[in-house]
Amino acid sequence: MNETLRTALASVAVSLLVLLAPIARCAESASLGSGAATVPSLIAEMAGTWEVREWMWTAPGAPAIVLPAALARRTLVGGKFLEETMTSKAGSRAAFSRISFFDFNAMTGRYEYFSIDTRAPQMMNERSVEPAEPDGTLELYGAVFVAPQWGAATNVPFRYRLIIGPIHGNTQIVELYLTPIPAAQSRGFLAFKYLYTRRTTSSAR
Q: Do residue 151 and residue 194 come from a single domain? A: yes
- Domain residue limits at 97: 41-198
Q: What is the pLDDT of residue 185?
A: 56
pLDDT of residue 83: 97
Cis peptide before 134 (omega within 30 of 0): no
Chain segment 45-102, per-residue pLDDT in tens = 999 999 999 999 988 889 999 998 999 999 999 999 999 999 998 777 778 999 999 9
- Indicate whether 52 and 146 sit together in one domain: yes
Domain match, 111 and 166 both? yes
Whether residues 46 and 5 share a domain: the answer is no
Q: What is the pLDDT of residue 14?
A: 39
- Assess if residue 112 is contained within a domain: yes
Instruction: Report if residue 174 sits inside a domain.
Output: yes
Which backbone phi and psi does 44 adopt, to 5 degrees? Answer: -65, -40
pLDDT digits (tens, 9 = 90+) for 133-179: 878 899 999 988 888 888 777 888 888 999 999 999 999 999 999 99
d(CA 47, CA 81): 10
Domain count across the chain: 2
Q: Classify residue 203: in a domain, yes or no.
A: no
Is the residue at 122 inside a domain? yes
The pair phi, psi for residue 174, each rounded to 5°, is -125, 130
